[in-house]
Each structure stands twice: as C-alpha cells, then as structure tokens.
C-alpha cells in the first residue's frame, strides 16, 4: 500500500517519480465538489506540500469526469437549510484551498482535465499553473440554466484567463465546449486525445522536475502577483522576488547556470536548463 492509501474519503493521492497525482474521488457523482471534499483538499495540499518526494502536483479526476462543479444537493439543499454561519464556513473552505493554497502553491501544479469540467470546477482549473485537457473533455458554465450566476470566483477566473467575448458567451448561454475549444480560448495550454493525456502530462511534469524548485516558485508566483500590481509596484516587487530566490536557493542556481554557460560552454540557456 502507498503512504496515502485510503487516507481521505473524497480525494485519492499517489506519488510516483516526483509527481503527486491528486484525484477528485467521487466518480459516482462525477467528482462534484462537496463540503467534505473542500475540507479534505485543504489537508491534501498542506500534506503534499511537505512531502519531499512530491515535487510536481497533478490535479485530475477519477472516472469520466474532472469535476462536475458544486454538488447541488449538498451545497444548496443541505447547506441552505443550515445556519448562516455554516454557509460562511463552507464558502471559506472552498476559497482557501483553491485561491489561497492552490493558486500560490509552493510546487508546480498541472490540471489534467480528463472529462467533464463544469461550473465551480473552473476555479481550481484556473488556479493551477498549467493545464492540459482531453479533446473529448466537456466544459460548461451551466449555472445560468438553473437560475444563478457563476458561483465562487468562477467569473474572476474566466476574466483573468479567457477573453471578454468568449467568457460572456458561455456564461450567458450555458453552452458547452470541448477540449480543442478550451485550448483555442487559452483556458488550457494544450488539448490532446484522451488516450495520450497522461503521457502528455508526464512529459510536462518531467520538464518542470528538471528546473530549480526555488526559482520556479519565485517565477510563477511572481507572475501571478504582478498582475494585481501597478508598474511602479512591480519594479520593486519583482526585483525583490529575484533577490529572494537567490538568497533562498541552496543550489545557487544562478551561479551554476552562468558557470556552465560562460565558462564550461556546456549548456545553451535558451534551449535547456542548467545541469543540476
């Protein structure tokens, strides 16, 4: 048995060759996100973050779905029937793992969208650093069809990732689209046939595993933060991230890269990472 077997009820985790495969594990519900899943995802992300064997995180779903979004019965029928303070906690749990933990995770994250991705599923999709989907995947913002606007921070996720016209078209019509369209819109980096999906994700993960993890973290989180700052603020912030990365990097990657390029003539930085 693996170290994480049966540790969580709604999430499955395995670690293989540096990659943590984190799967929504409610296939009978198309991996719909429930209050329990949100609580467990917080624990999963915090646990995997401290696992030295897990250096890249891939988020996917068991069965035929990535996630069908929020579990309507548990979120709306049951939560709405509870006290107002319960609703506050449920919303906080969802936001904390998606927008505070996952979006600024300390390790590279890849969304591997293997099937249905609806509604609230767009939030963790966009919170991941990178995304690859199956051509056969089906995406949709169907909230309008049952009488509400997109929940959580889905509209913000779309606004930051997809163009104005495309976002509003799918938000206002509730129509679905496939993986190729998701790639064309920029919602994912690439779409491939389902049979090739895992191999494609492994190739991307292996590329990230070759990179300096401290510098990679500074680069990705610096980019995400800089979108919210002015040019003047960014000048100070991004130089600070550069200095921070060098200070915290036990590999002294900058010095190694310069030596291998300028002195040893053993690498071409425009085409490859320095040898670690």
The one catalytic residue in 16, 88, 172, 239 is 239
Alpha helices in 103-148 (DSSP H): 122-127
Dihedral sign from CA coordinates of 2, 208, 225, 152: negative
Closest CA to 4 of 33, 45, 37, 56: 45
Q: Please give the biggest Cα pair distance in the chain.
A: 68
- Catalytic residue list contains 41: no
The one catalytic residue in 33, 41, 70, 158 is 70
The one catalytic residue in 75, 105, 170, 274 is 75
- The structure tokens listed for 146 are 């049952």
Alpha helices in the chain (DSSP H): 35-49, 72, 79-80, 84-95, 122-127, 154-161, 164-173, 179-185, 194-209, 213-226, 231-248, 253-258
Distance CA 269, CA 261 (A): 7
The one catalytic residue in 40, 143, 158, 170 is 143
Closest CA to 60 of 14, 4, 105: 14
Distance CA 15, CA 3 (A): 9
Q: Which residues contact 118 (CB under 8 A, 6 or more apart)?
A: 67, 68, 69, 138, 139, 140, 141, 142
- Catalytic residue list contains 105: no
The one catalytic residue in 69, 120, 253, 257 is 120
Q: Which residues contact 61 (CB under 8 A, 6 or more apart)?
A: 23, 24, 27, 31, 67, 114, 115
- Catalytic residue list contains 270: no
Residue positions annotated with a catalytic role: 70, 75, 120, 143, 239
């Amino acid at each position: 048995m693996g170290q994480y077997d049966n540790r969580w009820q709604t999430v499955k985790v395995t670690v293989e060759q540096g990659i943590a495969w984190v799967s929504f594990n409610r296939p009978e519900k198309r991996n719909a996100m429930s209050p329990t899943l949100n609580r467990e995802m917080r624990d999963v992300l915090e646990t995997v973050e401290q696992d030295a064997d897990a250096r890249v995180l891939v988020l996917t779903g068991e069965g035929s779905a990535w996630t069908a979004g929020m579990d309507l019965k548990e979120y709306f029928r049951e939560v709405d029937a509870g006290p107002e303070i319960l609703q506050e906690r449920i919303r906080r749990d969802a936001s904390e793992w998606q927008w505070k933990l996952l979006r600024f995770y300390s390790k590279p994250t890849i969304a591997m969208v293997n099937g249905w991705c609806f509604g609230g599923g767009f939030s963790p999709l966009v919170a991941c650093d990178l995304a690859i989907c199956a051509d056969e995947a089906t995406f949709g913002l169907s909230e309008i069809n049952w009488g509400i606007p997109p929940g959580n921070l889905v509209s913000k996720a779309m606004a930051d990732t997809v163009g104005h016209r495309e976002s509003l078209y799918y938000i206002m019509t509730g129509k679905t689209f496939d993986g190729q369209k998701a790639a064309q819109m920029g919602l994912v980096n690439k779409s491939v046939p389902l049979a090739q999906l895992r191999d494609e994700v492994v190739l991307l993960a292996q590329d990230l595993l070759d990179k300096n993890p401290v510098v990679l973290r500074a680069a990705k989180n610096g980019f995400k933060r800089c979108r919210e700052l002015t040019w003047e603020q960014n000048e100070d912030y991004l130089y600070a991230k550069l200095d921070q990365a060098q200070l915290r990097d036990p590999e002294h990657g900058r010095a190694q890269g310069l030596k291998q390029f300028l002195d040893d003539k053993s690498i071409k930085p425009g085409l490859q990472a320095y040898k670690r």
